[in-house]
């Protein structure tokens, strides 16, 4: 049996298929994507299907994704966990500027609180480590916000195992987000560290940004299971490690249903051996 849920930060239980909001915005995560009513419908359907973790970021849009989450779901169900990210400033659809000074992180967090219409953010993730700012200062700013009750748990995005170790010497870390999927396992050392320390790992690009459809083994297993390659890839993540919690994103109701149906797929030992 694979576990259907995991615990974030020792006190937040979430189902292991969440929903990510990046695809609710335009190309390059910039500007709106179509009619906002469609995005609202997708978010509401995700929660109807039992999703209890919504992963978003202040720079998706910018601001648009967080605003859509609040429009669709506020007041939030008691069991819904909202995770957002700060530490990156967008100036165009292709420009990302790391901004990790304490005053910047505070301003970003407080803006996210207003957009999400909450007094405390369940999981606030540092979107990128700022190489120009000491790690202790970046995490110190988030710790201060946590002490003030504005953040419940701290997460990190795109880090190495060594950087996570350094962060853990400074504060508690509830989650990490790194690129990880069936065809990209470069973050395997980080995954092993998360398993050892009981830290949730939220893999981004869990579907390989479309590349999985070209993998013959994944396609063969999908055909045998009566599933899609994307469903097999998500199921593989759920089988791979109990700390993995994929949050695939989509702006399509049909694709949302497909992704969430992956939770019911059970891969055999032979399937897992073929997938490696």
- Please give the positions annotated as active site: 60
Which DSSP state fits 198?
A: T
CA dihedral of 186, 52, 70, 205, whole degrees rounded to 10: 20
Handedness of CA 257, 179, 65, 8 (dihedral sign): positive
Cβ within 8 Å of residue 138, ≥6 positions away: 87, 100, 102, 105, 126, 129, 130
Q: How many residues does the chain have?
A: 276
Rounded to a whole number of angstroms, the CA Rg of the chain reads: 18
Place of tokens 């999985």: 212
């Amino acid at each position: 049996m694979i576990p259907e849920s995991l615990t974030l930060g020792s006190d937040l239980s979430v189902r292991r298929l969440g929903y990510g909001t990046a695809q609710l915005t335009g190309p390059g995560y910039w500007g709106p994507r179509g009619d906002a009513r469609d995005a609202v419908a997708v978010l509401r359907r995700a929660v109807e299907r039992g999703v209890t973790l919504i992963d978003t970021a202040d720079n998706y849009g910018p601001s648009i994704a967080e605003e859509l989450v609040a429009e669709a779901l506020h007041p939030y169900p008691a069991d819904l966990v909202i995770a957002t990210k700060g530490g990156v400033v967008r100036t165009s659809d292709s420009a990302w500027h790391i901004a990790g000074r304490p005053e910047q992180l505070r301003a970003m967090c407080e803006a996210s609180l207003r957009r999400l219409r909450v007094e405390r953010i369940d999981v606030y993730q540092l979107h990128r480590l700022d190489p120009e700012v000491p790690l202790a200062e970046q995490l110190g700013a988030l710790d201060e916000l946590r002490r003030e009750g504005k953040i419940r748990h701290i997460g990190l995005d795109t880090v190495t195992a060594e950087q996570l170790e350094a962060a853990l010497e400074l504060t508690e870390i509830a989650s990490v987000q790194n690129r990880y999927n069936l065809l990209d396992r470069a973050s395997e050392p980080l995954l092993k560290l998360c398993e050892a320390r009981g830290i949730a790992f939220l893999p981004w690009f869990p579907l390989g940004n479309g590349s999985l459809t070209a993998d013959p083994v994944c396609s063969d297993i999908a055909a045998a299971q009566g599933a899609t390659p994307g469903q097999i890839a998500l199921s593989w993540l759920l089988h791979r490690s109990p700390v993995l919690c994929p949050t695939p994103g989509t702006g399509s109701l049909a694709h949302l249903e497909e992704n969430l149906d992956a939770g019911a797929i059970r891969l055999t030992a032979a399937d897992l051996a073929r997938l490696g």
